[in-house]
Structure 1
Amino acid sequence: MAQKYRRLLMFLFLKKYHDEIKSGKITLTFQPWDTLRVLRGKIYRAHNLGLLRVLDVDFRRLSDIAPDELKRCGYSSREQFESEYKKMAEREVDFEMERAVRIEFEYIGEDIENYKKAMGNVKDSELYDLKEKLIIADQKNAKPWIIKAMRLLRESGYIPSRDLEKRLKVPADRIKRNMKKLKSMNLITSNQRKGYGITPLGVKVLKTLNAEKKNIEKARALNLEKK
């Protein structure tokens, strides 16, 4: 069956690229538009793909597109890019003189409610439940490291899996298994190029843990004073 281009409002993607977009391997696209039709920071829904957030948008002359940019788009060669770009434009294209709209984006999931949760939009009761689940998950390890990993992500931004393994001294399979669990709780995000990162909800849960720890320490100090 012939592949069809999927429309993201005005975006065009081949279906064969959907998995790489979801995994974070593809984070760039060039669109055959005359004007900037999308806005930086806005979220758009793609048919059969999910939600994409525009990180940056600008014009770029087609002849100035670099090889590393084509790779980020999922193309293996300049020839492949030009062939598929002409199909998107549905016309002949002057690749020396014309310009395209260059759009950096990130895939943020298939459901807007999960995205809102990841942004920290949860009830206090949900925040409490997440905190308890995180503590329980951490205590299942002989040497607790999950909360420590989240703190590292908060301090450093995105961290590749191999770097987490070295810094935490935890095997790759355990990192992957527990990070998958944290991702299902909307506490972290993952990107094939950049690694793991913490979500605003993850930061919120860490702040709750820190506040609870301070309250416990304060209560202990008061008890010692009374004695």
Structure 2
Amino acid sequence: MLTVELKFIDYPLSQEVVSLQEIIELVTMLFKQKHLEGIKSGKISLAFRKWKKLTVSEGNLIKTSVGNIKIVSVEEIALQNISDEEAEKAGFKNASSLVQLLEEQKEGAIYRIGVVFDSEDPRIELRERFQFEEGELEGLKSELEILDKYSKIGKWTTKTLQVIRENPKMKAADLAVKAKKEKEWLKLNVRKLKSLGLTISHEPGYTLSPRGEAYMDSIEK
């Protein structure tokens, strides 16, 4: 079984995504929050995607905002063969509404993907840990310095945390304007901060986690 750890690299938005980890991360972002919550509750057990190239496989474990989701099956399916029952399992009212959505998307094959909630996300516990143990704060600073060092735009981590702190739950598009960044760049890079337990995603926007607030307090002293 492949466990997909949400590691990231910094790349221009126009550059082709070349690693499986990056592809799956982008796939994860296509799940609406209500669908993720449906998967966690067990009400949703299928997802349908239209791709030129298959980007997930059976056994993949994907980290999301609600926890780890496991891919249990992947099958190509003809659009006309999607049933009302399957559409309902994917969180849609009926097959017609799902088919209409898929037809609006660019060319590609249709895939029926079986999904199931696997386990809680360890980042949830991490983000609540705001009292740093010996050496932990220094380790966190080192990880953020690495993100800054290998970024093509220079230091960005503290600036991004600060703009989130000053604009809690602001829509990503508006927050990107505040941060003077492209929206997709912002969303991808905030997830890097989230993987360190520093931010929390909302509908809409983001806030700093207790850990993120503690970190910002520490560097302001």
Report the TM-score range of the alignment, normalised by the length of the smaller protein: 0.3 to 0.5
What TM-score results when the alignment is normalised by the length of structure 1?
A: 0.43
Q: Which protein is richer in helix relative to its size?
A: 1
What TM-score results when the alignment is normalised by the length of structure 2?
A: 0.44
The higher radius of gyration belongs to: 1
